[in-house]
Amino acid sequence: MKQEYVFAVVDLSYLLQRNLYACSRGLGIGEFTAGDVVKMTIQTLNKIPRDYKLSISKYILLADKWSENYDGYYRHYILSGTYKTDRTWMTPEKLKSIEEDPNSTEKDISKARYELYINNVKQEAKEILKTELRYFGVPCIWQDGWEFDDCAYLFACLWYNNPDPRKSVIITKDSDLQYSINPRVDYFRLPTAGSQPEIIDYEQMYLSIPEDLRNLGMSLYDYKAHMDSLGMGHNMMQKTKYPKADPIITIKKILSGDYSWVKDPDLFKLQLSTFDISKFPGFQDIFNKLTNDIYTIGRLGEVEEFRRFCETHGINGVTDKYYKTFISRFDQKLFTE
């Protein structure tokens, strides 16, 4: 049975990484391109309604946006000095230092060159997906200093109060986003090797909140925010509860104003504050994009225009018929650029 959704907000970073891995597997420098990644992304989005039976009126790619003002994302800026990160990437400067280091082996240098090529392909494909795919049915939205998680949660909150009776859906691999859904917004996980595609709805997730906290009226999002702020998540926030303190009892105490089981109350409160996205700079801008722009942004380009796009980026094998079928599934009234 086909599940109908109005909007599908898609994690661009996940989609990009997933398809880059698939395109590059077993290949060397120059044997895959940004065009290959863009082609596979279109194919992935096409499979969702065709093979997994999700009827989607419009895709919206949501992108992380590094901010020069905050030297990264706003949440990391707030937690500067306390937030751990394990994200690194190869740059021309790093490659040069490796090449000039007398202790570097040929293997070290080859590995670094490949990593830089991968990163360059990724950045080129990301730019195409963010700025050009909008002309062929798949627009992208972002906000300076905001991450996908924050944009997707805001979208879910806004759609919950939307008068349209139909549902929308968040598409990502990040299990944290399962805590951002509500009765009007589902979560969809694309299949990976050995797994099946999966729709997770609010009723399934709500029962994951311990009964004691459900009885206190705690929401899915607030439960995740408290657990992460205690250091119980996988998003690199620091542990703030005492090692042997039960996290559920600790949260119950916190809700009553008792921080006696928290070893660093100030850090806990700081970490918890980063989940209040209404305080983030640019809130009104992204609010407007997700309430107004989503109904107009993008267009369904003519076949000739799509053909020129493919030629420009070295995309081969996407036929006119395939493209026309791909865009025919969308609601044309939602594209008015």
In DSSP notation, 65-87 reads --BTTTTB-HHHHHTTTT-----
Residue 192 banded pLDDT, cuts 50, 70, 90: confident
Span 20-41, pLDDT tens digits: 999 999 999 999 999 999 999 9
Which residues, at least 6 apart from 32, have a Cβ–Cβ distance to it below 8 Å? 23, 24, 121
Span 272-314, pLDDT tens digits: 999 999 999 999 999 999 999 999 999 999 999 999 999 999 9
Residue 211's identity, in one-letter code, is: E
Q: Nearest to residue 164, comparing CAs of 286, 331, 328, 284?
A: 331
- Whether 135 has a pLDDT exceeding 70, the answer reads yes
Mean pLDDT in residue range 244-265: 96
Q: Nearest to residue 129, comparing CAs of 263, 229, 220, 13?
A: 13
Residue 252's identity, in one-letter code, is: K
Residue 81 banded pLDDT, cuts 50, 70, 90: low
Q: What is the pLDDT of residue 47?
A: 96
- Whether 89 has a pLDDT exceeding 90, the answer reads no
The pLDDT > 70 percentage for the chain reads 98
User: Against a cut of 0.75, is the pTM above it?
Assistant: yes
Q: What is the pLDDT of residue 50?
A: 95
306: phi then psi, degrees, rounded to nearest 5 = -65, -35
Q: What is the pLDDT of residue 72?
A: 86
